[in-house]
Chains A and B, each alone.
Chain A
Amino acid sequence: MDLDNQATIKQLVDAHGAENLVVVLGMSGEGVRIAAETLTTGDPSWAGPLAGVSLGLPVYHILEERVRTRLPAEIYAEKVQLMEMVLDVAQIEDALAGLRKTQAKRS
């Protein structure tokens, strides 16, 4: 995950507390799993500000059904509808579901 983004999220957690934040991702492919892992258990590449930092943030993706169906219709049509057809939504949902399952087992 991008090092600048890691730093920004760490600052937000310091300012507002992890319990008050939810992360909504917008990327695709392999990046989804890596970002979700980075924001929960820490940077798996050990290169960024979140190396060894387990924020445990709740992570969702904008295209997950439970997120996208709650958006106002106008915003969905303008900003989300197209990418729902472009990106592989099933792969994104699988990646996040798999990670949540592993984390639930750990905790």
Chain B
Amino acid sequence: MIPVLRAAVNTLVHVPDLVRYGSKPFREGSRPGSFLADLKARLRTFEDAAAYPPHQAFIGNLRPESLADIPSPWYGHPLPGASHQGPFGEILGQGPFYSMLEKADQFGLVSLDAGWTPPANGASAAAKGLMSAGARRGTEKEIRRRIGSGEALALEHEGALIGCIRRDHEEDESLAARVLLENLAAKASGAHALRLLLEKARLPAEEVDYILSCSEEAIGDRYNRGGGNLAKAIGEMAGCPNAAGTDIKAFCAAPVYALVHAAALVQAGVVRNAVVVGGGSLAKLGMKSHRHIEKRMPVLEDVLGGVAFWVGPDDGESPRLNLEMAGRHPSGRPSTPQGMMEALVCEPLARAGRKLREIDKYAVELHNPEVTLPAGAGDVPLTNYRTLAALAVIRGEIGREEIPAFIRDHGMPGFAPTQGHIPAGVPYLGHALAAMRAGTMKSAMVVAKGSLFLGRMTQQADGASIVVES
């Protein structure tokens, strides 16, 4: 059974009032003279976030390559007539998302004010199907009491209190209100991406057999921190009654690992239809906002990302996920940029007797440079493309003078929000699918890297790659 990529979906949820619960702003908030007041003043409206060119590229209304023609700064050049619906994605507003959080919660953790009706913000039918009927709404008095007692965090919309989320144990850090908010945000945004995938690809929910979640949150309690299986919770919320599933954890490399696992399960005949899904990372909201505020920019890290991919058996028209060219980075290899790229790109190509130039496009870590450059973190995709081009020079495949052309032809500007696992190459798959179906592209390699050292268990980095080809 040859595994193919049937469909891909990218979603964004614009959540300006939740940026304060990102890890950096939340820590900052308890310090004297914190930047939270400045942060509030620099948050974007839903319309501004929707018309932001990299977001339009993310949901498929703009080719990533076209970003190179838009003058910098991109936030100063919103796309006229931009829609929050795209061929393979949706930008969702905060109003419907709060309602989804309420629906995602089965333990009475989220209380929304009975007097507040979440605005639908033109949400898709897929999103509306995940909004709560509002059966468990609270009163403002009760919400204020919970926040005042310290058991709950305030939920605000356009600056006004509209609800709260409470902890579920007094001493368990894994069930603290902010942790549960992170987990529910990943669940709800993951379910949104999955539901949109089902609708766009016309895949009946009953036919999903297996779900692999590559979300980053550590779901669990004090005895099982990171216990997991957000996949099953997402599948339940998206209405996939026949789907089992599990989580794949590997920092930012997880989405590509999950695609490899999904393709392997389909190829082996264990399941027929597997779905890879990644929900958004609340912790990374406003991660570099202090730098953006210093530089008088809008707070650009105000969106949760979501991705979903359908991997199924060959239908005669979708591009194949070539497992013979799956790349991995064994623990005995150096974690240097060169060591990583040799293992993840050159070795799989060598196995297939191919050269670097023979892959049409490389989808590396696609972080939006407008977010990372002001924070001194460089242009991540450009550095990766330079590394690939330099490897091609060292291997005698191109001349040194051909580096800029190699980067232009085989690369693209970064267009993904800095949500860890979300930028990991996979947001390009929607574009690759469209190009392959139109006959303008034959192959794309997705290359993801993960910073394992952040967890302090090893000094190593990690990575995974996979080739999609028509």
- Interface of A with B (CB < 8 Å)? 28-31, 79, 81-83, 85-86
**Listed residue (A28, A81, A85, A86) with the most chain B CB atoms within 10 angstroms of its CB:** A86
How many residue pairs between the two chains, A and B, have CB atoms under 8 Å in the bound complex? Answer: 29
Contact bitstring B319-350, A, C-beta under 8 A = 1, else 0: 00000000000000000111000000000000
Stretch at the interface among B20-28, B132-140, B390-398: B390-398
Interface residues of B in 338-373 (CB under 8 A from A): 338
Nearest-Cβ distance from residue B141 to partner chain A, whole angstroms: 44
A29 touches B376 (CB 8 A): yes
B63 at the interface (CB under 8 A from A): no
**Stretch of B43-51, B268-276, B297-305, B381-389 lying at the A interface:** B381-389
B129 an interface residue at 8 Å Cβ cutoff?
no
Contacts of A30 on B, CB cut-off 8 Å? 376
A86 x B337 contact (CB < 8 A): yes
> Closest residue to B393 on the A side, CB-wise?
A85
Do B376 and A82 touch (CB < 8 A)?
no
Question: B336 contacts which of A28, A31, A79, A81 (Cβ < 8 Å)?
Answer: A79
Distance A79 CA – B335 CA, assembled complex (angstroms): 12
Q: Enumerate chain B residues within 8 angstroms of A31, measured Cβ to Cβ.
A: 376
By a CB distance below 8 angstroms, the chain B residues around A29 are: 376, 378
- With A79-B336, A81-B394 as contacts: A86 and B387 at CB distance below 8 Å: yes
Flag if B390 contacts A85 (CB, 8 Å): yes
B403 touches A (CB below 8 Å):
yes
Tell me the complex Cα distance, A85–B392, Å.
11
Chain B positions within 8 Å of A, measured between CB atoms, are 336-338, 376, 378, 383, 386-387, 389-391, 393-394, 400, 403
Check if A82 sits within 8 Å of B338, measured CB to CB.
Answer: yes
- Chain A residues whose CB sits within 8 angstroms of the CB of B338 once the complex forms: 79, 82-83
A83 touches B378 (CB 8 A): no
- A81 surroundings in chain B (CB, below 8 A): 390, 394
CB distance B376 to A85 under 8 Å? no
Return chain A residues, CB-CB under 8 Å to B386.
Answer: 85-86
Return chain A residues, CB-CB under 8 Å to B403: 85
Min CB–CB distance A15 → chain B (angstroms) = 23
* A86–B400 CB distance below 8 A: no
Residues in A neighbouring B394, C-beta threshold 8 A: 81-82
CB distance from B344 to the nearest CB of A (A): 14
Give Cα A31 to B391, complex, Å.
24
Q: How far is the CA of A87 from the CA of B378 in the complex (A)?
A: 11
- Asked whether B378 lies within 8 Å of A82 as measured between CB atoms, the reply is no
**How far is A47 from B248 in the complex, measured between Cα atoms in Å?**
38
B253 to chain A, nearest CB (A): 21
Q: In the complex the two chains form, is A85's CB within 8 Å of B389's CB?
A: yes
Find chain A residues with CB under 8 A from B390 CB: 81-83, 85-86
* A and B contact pairs by CB, cutoff 8 A, 28 listed: A28-B378, A29-B376, A30-B376, A31-B376, A79-B336, A79-B338, A81-B390, A81-B394, A82-B337, A82-B338, A82-B387, A82-B390, A82-B391, A82-B394, A83-B337, A83-B338, A83-B390, A85-B386, A85-B389, A85-B390, A85-B393, A85-B400, A85-B403, A86-B337, A86-B383, A86-B386, A86-B387, A86-B390
Q: Distance in Å from the Cβ of B347 to the closest Cβ of chain A?
A: 16
- Nearest CB of chain B from residue A40's CB, rounded to whole Å: 20
Determine the distance from Cα of A83 to Cα of B389 in the docked complex, in whole angstroms: 11
Please, which residues of chain A bring their CB within 8 A of the CB of B378? 28-29
A82 to B394, CA, bound (A): 7
Measured between beta carbons, the chain B residues less than 8 angstroms from A28 are 378
Contacts of A83 in B (CB 8 A): 337-338, 390
Report the Cα distance A54→B336, complex, angstroms: 32
Q: A85-B403, A86-B383 are in contact. List 20 more A-B contacts (CB 8 A).
A: A29-B378, A31-B376, A79-B336, A79-B338, A81-B394, A82-B337, A82-B338, A82-B387, A82-B390, A82-B391, A82-B394, A83-B337, A83-B338, A83-B390, A85-B386, A85-B390, A85-B393, A85-B400, A86-B386, A86-B387
